[in-house]
Amino acid sequence: MALAGPSGDPGDPTGARCLDRRVLTVWTVQEAIGSAVLVVLVVAADVGARATGLDLPWPVGVAAVPFAVLGGLTSWRVPLARYRSWRYETAENALELRHGIVERVHSAIPYYRVQYIDIVQGPVERAVGLATLKVHTAAASSDSTIPGIPVGEAETLRRQILARTGAGDAV
Amino acid sequence: MQSEPRGPAPGLVEPGRPRRLHPLTPVFLAVREGRRLWPLALLALAQRRLWLIALAALVVLVATVLQWLRRSYVVEADALRVEQGVFARQLRVVPFDRIQQVDLVRKPLHRLLGVATLRVETAGGASASEVDLDVIALAEAESLRAALLRARAATTGEAPGTRPPRGTKGEAPGSTKDQAPRSAEGGAPGGAEGGAPGGAEGGAASGAGVPLPGTVGPAEVAGRPLERDLVRLSLGEVALAGITSARAAAVLAVLSPVFQLLDQAPGWVLDRVDPEALAPSSPLVVAALVPLAVLVWLGLAAASSIVTHAGFVLARSDDNLVVRRGLLERREAVVPLVRVQVVRIEESLLRRGLGFASVRIQSAGAAGRSDDRASRLAVPILRADRVNQVLGELLPGAAPVPLLLAPPPTARRRAIVRRVVPALVAALAVAVVLRPWGLLALAAVPLAALAGEAAYRNLGHARRAGFLTARQGALLRTTTVIPVAKAQSARVHASLFQRRAGLATLYVDVAGGGTMPKVTDESGATAEALLASVVSR
């Protein structure tokens, strides 16, 4: 590595890394909340339709069952697939991310392009001690968000990246 | 009361100690919310539900106080750090050497209460400031601004107030200093705009000016710098630009069958028409009116192009590109050459046939001014044989457009399938709903296949010297030239279908927004190799 980060980094910063497994909890909760909202909406529509005198050929609430099943399946499988698809790496010149289930994305953000860095924690992430790292460049379209890394590691990663930004370049 | 003003001593903003914003912050946050909610408040008032207003006020109060409590900033050894958020927490770290501009904004309410908003801008197209400390005590804000500018100067190795920072997105530090008091007086919502020195010559209407006081100012004092015209359009060319524009062309495409019909009309009309049939409602009159309407439409298109583009000049003045145009109102836009991010050469089918093209120039936006139009210049029409010459002026070394490599043959199938499948689905839906005439919609399917074939034939890319050139589009063939040194980051995307065909698409992220340059449907290996070559310095 040409430019070493600050010494004493915990863990080996080289090589591709997976996300923290606890991110499964975060995503599962998020998916489950989304599915639950959908199920509630379907039930409400079902009940509402009956209230207006519509005669539906199924008992109350049955319409929501397929949605509940589908929601349960996605809450269970999608986070796992997404977790397996994720790798990030602090390579020599650039931060490299690989992710995506249906659409695979490999993105590279050179360190010297980094403008500023956010570490964001939603309520669920806070509960399990994870954070999301967002690296911003001058281009709004840069894909540079790493979810599901432990708070301490996010701080380390931020320091590593900023230590390597070096002299920036004109935009 | 930790942020009571204590006079602008250098030690006021102590490094390393988190500070809350001014205790009046909730007031300003609440005012902002109130502005958003006043129609609802009016509604509640009209219904005499005062308790609802009281409840809303209470919620806003609690929310804004919480926001204030959870918001703090720290000046660290090498970066400004801002923490905020009640439910979702956000920590933002802006290294000093990335700071482009520090503004103090004081609206009337700010001045009344002795506070200010401090805005920190970095390079990039985001419309909002990267850090917006609303509000802090005036003395603290001034001291913080001085500290940030000093720290930036120290990390970038430049004396404060001498030269623009290496990002040169916005103003030089010197102008930032000049600007602050003006912003303070102006108190306009866009505080940074108040400081634009004179604006472009076209005034506010142009919106295209990126006047860089640091670069343009001194030269103007010494009289106009030497200018060299790159493109100068005649009135005829400008009119042609309007007539061949996409909007005018759309009308022509729709009405061209009518035209063909009317080509045979005169004799037919004279021989057979019964004068009485020429009542206004007769189809013949309508048919005769159509070409008239088309002529009027084309005239309007030409006229509107003349109004906006008459006397179009693209010139090089020092290290700036200058565009002047307009019939009634002359507009001028200035963009430093070094800020050009991407050049697009657009050739519609019509213009290709006539031997013309147009050129779009995308540049990085100015700090605090993210007017999209400001960052885009265009040459509305250009003779095809002059494109390479102009390209070479805009991006030295990029001309001529090199021979492009075609994507692998699997991309042909992808291009066709990608268009045929949606066309087929839509056509089947129409056919089912509107039997039997809906079956005619199925004719769209072979057309889609043809479009796919044409799209494949126009795909291509080249990676030569410091440039990545990518071409795509059949009806509007666009050749995008990206100076690799301007790429902020890059991505290779491969959808499920692309992976099955061994293909991938490379996107290059550049500053200034707009359409993302991309190399579509290359082989996975080529896309990865391009990615590596684009992001390595």
B490 to A158: CB separation less than 8 angstroms, yes or no: no
Specify if B248 maps to a domain.
yes
> Is the model more confident about A88 or about B338?
A88
pLDDT at residue B93 greater than cutoff 60: yes
User: Do B508 and B516 contact (CB within 8 A), yes or no?
Assistant: yes
More confident residue, B186 or B355: B355
Chain-chain contact of B87 with A122 (C-beta, under 8 angstroms): yes
User: Using CA atoms, how far apart are residues A99 and B289, in angstroms rounded to an integer?
Assistant: 58
**Quick check: is B223 in a domain?**
no
Mean pLDDT of A31-35: 93
Is A9 domain-assigned? Answer: no
Q: How many whole angstroms separate alpha carbon B381 and alpha carbon B387?
A: 10
In chain A the first and final C-alpha atoms are separated, in Å, by 26
Identify whether B89 is part of a domain: yes
Same-domain status, A124 and A76:
no
Residues A147, A111, single domain; the answer is yes
pLDDT at B11: 43
User: Within a domain: residue A86?
Assistant: no
B245 is in which domain, residue-wise? 235-309
The CB density around residue A138, as the number of other CB atoms within 10 Å, is 31
pLDDT in tens, B37-61: 888 888 888 888 888 888 888 999 9
Q: Does residue B527 share a domain with residue B413?
A: yes
Answer whether B167 sits within 8 Å of A170, measured CB to CB.
yes
Residue A11 confidence (pLDDT) above 50: no
Residues B149, B160: contact at Cβ < 8 Å?
Answer: yes
Is the residue at A19 inside a domain?
no
> Does a structural domain hold residue A68?
yes
Domain final residue pick, B309, B337, B368: B309
Domain count along chain A: 2
The range of the structural domain enclosing residue A135 comes to 93-164
- The CATH code of the domain that includes B192 is 2.30.29
Q: Number of folded domains in chain B?
A: 3
Residues B168 and B246 in one domain: no
Residue B176 located in a structural domain = yes
User: Minimal Cα–Cα distance from B511 to chain A, Å?
Assistant: 4
Q: Is the pLDDT of residue A167 over 70?
A: no
> Do B4 and B115 meet the contact criterion of CB atoms below 8 Å apart?
no
* Statement to judge: residues B160 and B16 lie in one domain: yes
Q: Please state, in angstroms and rounded to a whole number, the distance separating the CA atoms of residues A20 and A147.
A: 9
Closest-CA distance of chain B to residue A93, Å: 7
Cα dihedral value A105, A154, B66, B184, nearest 10: -80
Asked if residue B451 and residue B504 are part of one domain, the reply reads yes
* Same domain assignment for residues B176 and B275: no
Residues A73 and A112 occupy one common structural domain = no
In a domain, A73, yes or no: yes
Q: Are the Cβ atoms of A104 and B364 closer than 8 angstroms? A: no
Among B417, B413, B415, B436, residue whose Cα is nearest residue B425:
B417
Rounded Cα–Cα distance for residues B154 and B157 (Å): 5
Structural domain includes residue B318: no
In a shared domain, residues B449 and B520: yes
What pLDDT score does B46 carry?
84
ipTM of this complex prediction, to 2 decimal places: 0.85
Indicate whether B101 and B174 sit together in one domain. Answer: yes
Instruction: Examine residue B99 and state whether it is found in any structural domain, yes or no.
Output: yes
Residues A107 and A152 in one domain: yes
In a domain, B408, yes or no: yes
Report the range out of B48-57, B155-164, B255-264, B405-414 with the highest average pLDDT.
Answer: B405-414
The answer on B178 and B81 residing in a single domain is yes
Q: Does B258 share its domain with B161?
A: no
Query: Same domain for A156 and A128?
Result: yes
A interface residues, B as partner, C-beta within 8 Å: 93-94, 100, 102-110, 112-123, 126, 136-144, 158, 162, 165, 167-171
Distance from CA of residue B486 to its chain's centroid?
16
Q: What whole-number distance in Å separates Cα of residue B440 and Cα of residue A46?
A: 39
Among A49, A80, A111, the domain-final residue is A80
Residue A143 lies in a domain: yes
3-state class percentages of chain B: helix first, strand second, coil last, to nearest 5: 50, 25, 30
Which residue of A105, A122, A162 is in closest CB contact with B88?
A: A122
Domain boundary at A39, A55, A80, which? A80
Distance (Å) from the alpha carbon of A21 to chain B's nearest alpha carbon: 21
Does residue B191 have a pLDDT over 50?
no
Verify that A147 and A102 share a domain, yes or no. yes
Question: Are A98 and A41 in a shared domain?
Answer: no
Residues B532 and B405 in one domain: yes
Query: Pairing mode, if any, of strands B320-325 and B331-336?
Result: antiparallel
CA-to-CA distance for B412 and B407, rounded, in angstroms?
Answer: 8
Q: Looking at the structure, do residues A67 and A114 belong to the same domain, yes or no?
A: no
Q: Maximum CA pair distance of chain A? A: 73
Would the CB atoms of A116 and B130 count as touching at under 8 Å?
A: yes
Q: Is the pLDDT of residue B256 over 70?
A: no
Calculate what percentage of chain B has a pLDDT beyond 90.
Answer: 41
A138 and A111, same structural domain?
yes
Question: Which carries the bigger pLDDT value, residue A28 or residue B125?
Answer: A28
- Domain match, B429 and B499 both: yes
Contacts of B454 (CB under 8 A, 6+ apart): B474
B240 shares a domain with B124:
no
Cross-chain Cβ contact B493/A110 below 8 Å? no
Show Cβ contacts of residue B181 under 8 Å, excluding neighbours closer than 6 positions: none
A30 and A70 in a common domain: yes
What pLDDT is recorded for position B419?
93
pLDDT > 80? residue B487: yes
* H or E segment to which residue B82 belongs: strand B79-84
Interval B150-155 mean pLDDT: 86
Q: Is residue A67 part of a domain?
A: yes
Assess whether pLDDT exceeds 50 at residue B386: yes
Is position A8 within any domain? no
Q: What is the mean pLDDT of residues A21-29?
A: 95
- A117 contacts in chain B (CB < 8 Å): 92-93
Check pLDDT > 90 for residue B527.
Answer: yes
DSSP B1: -
Alpha carbon distance A152, A159 (integer Å): 11
Q: Which pLDDT score, from 0 to 100, does residue B512 have? A: 77
Q: What pTM does this model have?
A: 0.79
Q: Using the 3D structure, point to which of B292, B309, B326 is the last residue of a domain.
A: B309
Residues of B in contact with A168 (CB under 8 A): 97-98, 123, 166-167
Domain final residue pick, B197, B219, B251: B197
